[in-house]
């Protein structure tokens, strides 16, 4: 070994030992914060590696490790040391059950008590299929908000965006809605629907595959002249999402108007319309509640499906039609808690899919073990394959050959 590798070993041992014995901490506004996710942060701050020729190499590998699994850079460092010491250990780790108790035991082992209890309560409140977002707030208390409103991404026609959304981002009203799976060539196709809106004194929404420029221009003038509010939303047919209109119509409790089923556009765009309270933005339509029949239908399709690509799309449809969105608001002075919680959520997602390993005393994440095995081996080979280190500018820069 050259003297630089020997120094690397000595310095890594010091940093690893200091971290595992919890000698590293963050102190701010009379608060002391410790975390098992901050090894990479402490490494970056360490004076030991300030002038090390291996610093940038280690940073690169540790950063990769953290992006894949938060907190894993420490294990990458430990395994690198084992390889440098030729300390080849026989693994006694075996797969174990992937259940809630194992998950909680593992998360508790990698976190502090406050962060773990917060995440545990969030998971018990939200359920296993939730999408969890964390945000800072000016409030003094932590709060958790649950949103189960179905949301569909679809854009209002460009000509009408400035008319309806120049002064406000969203609007919530009861609308008369019709879903037309076709292209509107002439404004006359929509006139029966427009007349119905005028008669009932109610705003309307029409979803379609497109509107000709001429039709959009004439329609806009008619609506402004008669003070009728019609929101035309447009979505071209998309092979990756062929059932968008069907899902929206099902949530509305109506059927799609389509010439493929011999529908008469002039007549059925009115007869198949329905009054519904919705929230609109220029690129989204939000429902107040989900349609249980649609969810049951999707669940049955997911259960019977054997195609992985189809399964992914079915689950996407279910997620937007039956969302479970959780937002956790953390006070501004609890930034460390926010970062800890985000790291725990990432670990939870990884463990929920990949599972766990276990030895006589501890539980390990399969994903963390796999990625740190790969990265530590690659890092070891990289360090050993550096044939020469050239010092430039009085030690301020290093070049590896």
| Within-domain flag for 252 | yes
347 and 363 in a common domain? no
Give the CATH number, domain containing residue 177: 3.50.7.10
Last residue of a domain, one of 244, 262, 289: 289
Domains of the chain: total: 3
Residues 113 and 159 in one domain: no
Residues 199 and 275 in one domain: yes
**Domain limits at 117?**
99-148+324-353
Pair 40, 158 in one domain: no
Q: Residue 212 corresponds to which tokens in the numbers above? A: 């000709």
Residue 190 lies in a domain: yes
Give me 377's structure tokens.
């081996």
214 and 274: one domain? yes
Q: What is the pLDDT of residues 257-285, one digit of tens each?
A: 998 888 898 999 999 999 999 999 999 99
Residue 343 lies in a domain: yes
143-147 β-sheet, strand order = 131-137, 325-331, 143-147
Structure tokens at 150: 């179905």
Distance CA 333, CA 314 (A): 41
Tens-place pLDDT, residues 130-163: 889 999 999 999 999 988 899 999 999 999 999 9
User: What pLDDT is stored for residue 163 in this prediction?
Assistant: 92
Q: Which residues of the chain have pLDDT under 70?
A: 1, 29-30, 88-91, 387-401
Q: Would 7 be classed as within a structural domain?
A: yes
Considering the domain architecture, whether residues 165 and 278 belong to the same structural domain is answered as yes
Report the run of H or E that residue 223 belongs to, with start and end. helix 213-226
Q: Identify whether residues 245 and 165 lie together within a single domain.
A: yes
Residue 115 domain-assigned (yes or no): yes
Regarding whether 218 and 263 lie in a shared domain, the answer is: yes
SS3 category, 264: coil
Residue 389 confidence (pLDDT): 53
Task: Write down the pLDDT at residue 34.
Answer: 83
Tokens 């004076």 label which residue?
47
Structure tokens at 394: 């009085």
Reading the block at residue 139, the tokens are 């409030």
- Within this chain, do residues 73 and 155 fall inside the same structural domain, yes or no? no
In a domain, 344, yes or no: yes
Query: Do 205 and 178 meet the contact criterion of CB atoms below 8 Å apart?
Result: yes
Residue 305 is assigned to a structural domain of this protein: no
| Same domain assignment for residues 129 and 236 | no
Which residue, 217, 206, 113, 99, is CA-closest to 156? 206
**Is 273 in the same domain as 179?**
yes
Do 188 and 65 share a domain, yes or no?
Answer: no
In a domain? residue 212: yes
Do β-strands 356-358 and 363-365 pair in parallel, antiparallel, or remain unpaired?
Answer: antiparallel
């Amino acid at each position: 070994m050259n003297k630089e590798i020997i120094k690397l070993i000595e310095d890594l041992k010091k940093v690893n030992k200091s971290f595992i014995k919890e000698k590293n901490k963050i102190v701010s506004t009379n608060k002391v914060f410790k975390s098992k996710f901050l090894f990479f942060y402490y490494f970056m701050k360490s004076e030991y590696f300030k002038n090390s020729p291996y610093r940038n190499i280690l940073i690169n590998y540790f950063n990769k490790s953290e992006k894949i699994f938060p907190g894993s850079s420490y294990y990458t460092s430990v395994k690198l040391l084992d390889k440098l010491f030729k300390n080849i250990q026989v693994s006694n780790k075996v797969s174990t059950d992937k259940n809630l108790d194992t998950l909680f035991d593992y998360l508790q082992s990698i976190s502090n008590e406050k962060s773990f209890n917060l995440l545990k309560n969030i998971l018990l409140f939200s359920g296993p299929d939730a999408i969890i977002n964390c945000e800072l707030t000016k409030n003094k208390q932590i709060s958790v908000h649950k949103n189960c409103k179905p949301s569909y991404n679809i854009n209002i026609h460009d000509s009408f965006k400035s008319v309806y959304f120049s002064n406000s981002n969203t609007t919530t009203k009861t609308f008369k809605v019709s879903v037309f799976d076709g292209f509107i060539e002439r404004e006359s196709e929509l006139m029966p629907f427009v007349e119905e809106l005028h008669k009932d004194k109610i705003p309307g929404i029409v979803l379609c595959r497109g509107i000709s420029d001429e039709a959009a221009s004439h329609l806009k003038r008619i609506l402004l002249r008669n003070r009728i509010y019609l929101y035309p939303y447009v979505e071209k047919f998309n092979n990756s999402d062929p059932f968008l209109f069907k899902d929206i119509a099902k949530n509305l409790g109506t059927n799609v108007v389509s010439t493929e089923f011999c529908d008469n556009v002039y007549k059925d765009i009115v007869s198949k319309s329905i009054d519904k309270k919705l929230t609109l933005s220029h690129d989204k339509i939000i429902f107040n509640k989900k349609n249980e029949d649609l969810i049951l239908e999707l669940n049955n399709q997911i259960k019977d499906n054997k195609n992985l690509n189809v399964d992914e799309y079915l689950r996407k449809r279910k997620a937007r039609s039956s969302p479970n969105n959780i937002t956790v608001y953390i006070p501004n002075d609890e930034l460390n808690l926010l970062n800890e919680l985000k790291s725990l959520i990432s670990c939870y997602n990884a463990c929920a899919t990949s599972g766990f390993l276990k030895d006589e005393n501890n539980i390990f994440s399969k994903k963390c073990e796999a990625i740190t095995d790969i990265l530590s081996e690659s890092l070891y080979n990289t360090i050993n394959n550096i044939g020469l280190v050239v010092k430039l500018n009085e030690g301020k820069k290093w070049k590896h050959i």
